[in-house]
Chains A and B, each alone.
Chain A
């Protein structure tokens, strides 16, 4: 039911945007006010989240190592899996962010007769995640042609490579197919793999359904529902949005407002959802710390300040009481006091 509810929620959002944009004057709400609001929630929310995370101390180096740590000279150090310098950490983080090495290590566990448990490498999640994330990146970059004026040349090169197959007109993009297929694969993984299905929640399904619907509405707008979708008119609005002087000229078809409204919902939902892993990956202590727990002393930041207290100092403090109680002392009480 969790996934059915995600679909219902997205259908409700579509209806809101579809019917809402028909009302005179409302295009300004869906095309101007909500995008600004969503963008502010997105920026503010992300910064707030990261600041909140940064307020939590990380008292110990808790990096997960997957190789030989730095040791004696004749023991080969695995520099990527147990990084001990900043440069090695940067290399490890870079590969984690760009190639998802953690997902590459994903394993599948199965119980066989015996009972016996087996672990087997399972690369599907890694492949699906690569397809999904890179398609998403490419689509976001390509959309910059609607916001930048004049359009820089490198966006043209990006579009050329993405549309290298030159199929149909308007041209067909690899990333469009990649995003739709990536969403479907990640969604069906959650449905089909039993133990993943067991731990999947509404907030796992909802973003997938939402992003899938955004992709589909975008594709429909490009190829099918082209009534009142005039790209020049739309670019006037989008460039206006980022130049802080938005205007809606001629009428724009409702599919555009549905697409934009869903993107606004995604942006506003972003900082409060699991999608924050885009910032979280930079702040994972298991990845971004150095494996130097023996080479460097790590102090717990919330330790109270305790000064060293030597025995000589202790005796100085309590000598009288020690003598009174008959405890032997190293330095007697000064005799001058007795006279």
Chain B
């Protein structure tokens, strides 16, 4: 083999680069499997079945955003016989009050960074703001 001095380091760099996830995970602390917290209030029924919500909640939220903000159509949705006004804070977070335990557990694990919180407040932050004003 010719040019061993460059070929072998090059191949080592290549193999290390390709196996990067292998040794990255070996040297870092694995996060615990995300476990979402069910509504602390004990509500059992969501606006859609759980499987559908799990797969499509971002689509639903996007549609609601367009409906409410662009079409001014904040009609109520019913879940479990109770009516909620469309909206992340008014509907979703009325039951799923804890953002960290409900939203963030999966989002952090899979590196999903929704921009909901650029504008929205979690119930605890909203309550804190109300007090200071």
Contacts and interface: CB of A to CB of B under 8 A. Distances in A.
Nearest to B36: A232
Nearest to B54: A230
Contact of A149 (B2, B30, B106, B112): B30
Contact of A232 (B19, B109, B113, B115): B109
A169 B57 CA distance: 9
A169 B25 contact: no
Nearest to B24: A148
B111 A156 contact: yes
Contact of B58 (A39, A169, A282): A169
A279 B14 contact: yes
A168 B62 contact: yes
Interface residue range, chain B: 35 or more
Nearest to A39: B18
B58 A242 contact: no
Contact of B106 (A42, A232, A279): A232
Interface residues of A, number: 44
Interface in A24-59: 39, 42-43, 46-47, 50-51, 54-58
Contact of A43 (B18, B21, B59, B106): B18
Contact of B7 (A50, A231, A243): A50
A170 B106 CA distance: 14
B3 A227 contact: no
Contacts of A58: 2
A144 interface: yes
A50 B55 contact: no
Nearest to B4: A54
Contacts of B113: 156, 159-160
Given A55-B1, A230-B54, A242 B21 contact: yes
Nearest to A240: B25
A192 B55 CA distance: 41
Given A159-B111, A226-B56, A235-B109, A47 B62 contact: no
Nearest to A57: B2
Nearest to B1: A54
Given A43-B15, A149-B28, A231 B2 contact: no
Contacts of A168: 62
Contacts of B62: 168-169
Interface in A182-241: 226-227, 229-232, 235-236, 239
B81 interface: no
A156 to B, nearest CB: 6
- Nearest 5 A/B pairs, CB to CB: A169-B58, A147-B21, A145-B111, A151-B111, A169-B62
Given A55-B1, A145-B110, 6 more contacts: A42-B18, A43-B15, A51-B11, A144-B20, A170-B58, A235-B109
Interface of B: 1-4, 7, 10-11, 14-15, 18-22, 24-26, 28-31, 33-34, 54-56, 58-59, 61-62, 106, 108-115
